[in-house]
Amino acid sequence: MFNLGASFFPRIRLISGASQNVRFLTTAARVTVKPLQSRKTLLIDTYKDLMDKNPVVLFAHYNNLLKQENSFFRAQIQALGGKMTVLRNQLFQVYLRNSHLADPCAPSAKTEQNRTHPLLPLFKGPTAAISFSETDPSQILKFLKLLEKSSDKMFVVGARIEDQVMDITKLQQFKTLPSKSALQSQLLGVLSVLSGAGLVKTLEAGSHSLYLTLQSHHDNVEKPEDK
């Protein structure tokens, strides 16, 4: 196993403030497999917080990153509006198997665990999560372009975007889509047209045609003396 240096593992600093950043359940009412303030419990709580608060999370494997390379990737990802978090694979898999439960750290039977979670097969090497707080395909596009220059030092193996798990093929398609705000603007434009003169004309067309048809029929059957 290669040594990435202490700077590549900020989780020690993250754990020291995890109790401030992660919304825990009431201590008195919470039962966990490991002690509440243990490192494993705090990490799983951190993973839950990461997945709950970020609609876009990409998972990438990294290889032999030097200290300066690690700093470069972190700075570039931050510039794109994202955050890079190194994961403990086994603990993240524990979270995934129990993520559907109210408390992933609570004791659970194997029958209650989701052992077929689609993200589970991704964690077979050193893995980092790149999270974004907004669903913006342009951010993913820029990030993937960044990795193209990394000489396979880091590469994406899958993603969770909102409620969908995506492989590389789907992710390549997703990165070309407009942003959510752009799609909302387009939808508002369509609705604005429909709710304006266009919709009025559409609604009036049927009644106007019906009126002309009835008037013509009335004129044809009306007796001359009635006129």
Structure tokens, 127:
């893995």
According to CATH, the topology of domain 6-178 is Alpha-Beta Plaits (3.30.70)
pTM for the whole thing?
0.70
Domain coordinates of the chain in residue numbers? 6-178, 183-221
CB contact at 8 A, 131 and 85: yes
| CA separation for the pair 206, 218 (Å, rounded) | 18
Amino acid at 211: Y
CA distance readout (Å), 78 to 6, 101, 130, 131, 173: 19, 31, 10, 10, 23
| CA separation for the pair 221, 216 (Å, rounded) | 9
Q: Which residues contact 84 (CB under 8 A, 6 or more apart)?
A: 73, 74, 77, 78, 128, 129, 130
pLDDT tens for residues 140-188? 999 999 999 888 899 999 999 999 999 999 999 999 987 777 767 777 7
Q: What is the pLDDT of residue 58?
A: 98
Which residues of the chain fall short of a pLDDT of 50? 1-21, 24-26, 227
